[in-house]
Amino acid sequence: MKIGIQTNGVFEPLGIEKGFETIAEAGFDCVDLNLDALIGLSWEEAREGKPSPFFFDKDKVEAFVRQIREASRKTGVIVGQVHAPFPLHFRGCEKANENSLEYAKICIRICHECGCGKLIIHPLFEGSMRLTPSTAQEEWKDNIAFYSELIPELKKYGVICCLENMWGQDWRTKKIYVGICSDMAETNRYIDTLNKIAGETCFGFCLDIGHLTLLGIDCYEAIQALGSRLVALHIHDNGGITDDHVIPYTGVTIWNRFLRGLAETGYTGTLSFETAESQRKVPSELIPAMLAYTAKIGKYFDSEITKLKNET
């Protein structure tokens, strides 16, 4: 399997060209391109409907895509998956939501232009459990409408839109709660309904392993429940208290459950790491070593999955 790493935690200190070079030297095959880092707005500004200085500037978008494509060509590191900005929904904020829909459509085009066929877009939900938690019924209505609007663009550019399992929080007490798509039965209903609306496979799922750990959900059972709907991964660890986004084996995730789940379901996609905080914890001089270690974990995972497949 290909081994991937997110660009957050790499591009900020190193830039695009040096970032790609360092990722290649570490042993990665591909990147998870973090477009969420480019929106250029605070949460308050996005909610007020202020337009993104990046996404609504065609010249900036085109220049960025050229940089990515050139760095990819030089290093041989492809764009394996792309991550859209988030959140893309603000309850009662019509202008903000209009902007968000346009951001998503632009991300689909960027994904295609970078030679990538998978775009991760967080489901729409209210993450603040204390202030304005959304109901499952509200979330269903909002998400089916939102994702359905993307179907023409997804078909046009040959991109699979991946939903992701989320978590909510009481921002005062820091208590973590289950969020949308953390129940795999609900997730499967979303994916199957959207693909039925599309009339073809336009939607899949990106399983975030760290989010499962945060909520105490067994990754083996989640992987089994998703089956072929699972097309992308966010691999990272945490201590079960906060969403730390650190490398495996530095938290409490039971990784043998993860590996066995992938082996038994025949997953053949990318092992993509979302571990930016591990890079951010060290001086920039140590980022290459941190990336190399993460890539070694990815190769170990790949080897163990192969062994487990051969046992079955």
Predicted confidence band of residue 168 (pLDDT cuts 50, 70, 90): very high
CATH label of the domain that carries residue 181: 3.20.20.150
Give the pLDDT confidence score for residue 91 in this predicted structure.
84
- Residue-wise pLDDT for 27-59, tens only, equals 999 999 999 999 999 989 999 999 999 999 999
Average pLDDT over the chain, rounded to an integer = 96
Question: Distance of CA 20 to CAs 45, 73, 107, 108, Å?
Answer: 31, 10, 20, 22
Give the pLDDT confidence score for residue 133 in this predicted structure.
72
Give the pLDDT confidence score for residue 228 in this predicted structure.
97
What total number of domains does the chain contain?
1
CB 163 within 8 Å of CB 121: yes
Residue 287 reports pLDDT greater than 90:
yes
Residues of the domain holding 163: 3-311
| Angle, helix 94-113 to helix 136-157, in steps of 10 degrees | 40
266: helix, strand or coil:
coil
Q: What is the mean pLDDT of residues 77-82?
A: 99
Give the pLDDT confidence score for residue 203 in this predicted structure.
99
- Residue-wise pLDDT for 90-104, tens only, equals 888 899 999 999 999
